[in-house]
Amino acid sequence: MDENVLEEKLAEELLEGWQVVPTGSGFLVTTAWRWPTGEMIEISVRKVAERDDLYLVTDGGELFNFLFARGIDLRQDDRNMKLLQSIAAGSAAKMIDYQIVRGSNDDDLPRSIRLIAEAVKEGAFLLWHLLV
pLDDT per residue rounded down to tens, the chain (132 residues):
889 899 988 888 888 889 999 998 899 999 998 887 888 999 999 999 877 789 999 999 999 998 888 888 889 988 889 989 999 999 999 999 999 999 999 999 999 999 999 999 988 887 766 665
pTM of the entire predicted model = 0.88
Residue 115: the pLDDT is 95
DSSP 39: P
Q: What is the DSSP string of 43-106?
A: EEEEESTT-SSEEEEE-TTHHHHHHHHTT--GGG-HHHHHHHHHHHHHTT-EEETTEEEEEEET
φ/ψ bin of 12: left (φ > 0), alpha (ψ from -120 to 50), beta (otherwise) = alpha
Residue 95: the pLDDT is 94
Question: Domain limits of the chain?
Answer: 17-128
Residue 67: the pLDDT is 87
d(C-alpha 93, C-alpha 126), whole Å:
17
Residue 131: the pLDDT is 62
Helix (H, G, I), strand (E, B) or coil at 15: helix
Residue 70: the pLDDT is 82
> Using an 8 Å Cβ cutoff, are 105 and 54 in contact?
yes
- Nearest residue to 63 (alpha-carbon basis) of 46, 79, 45, 42: 42
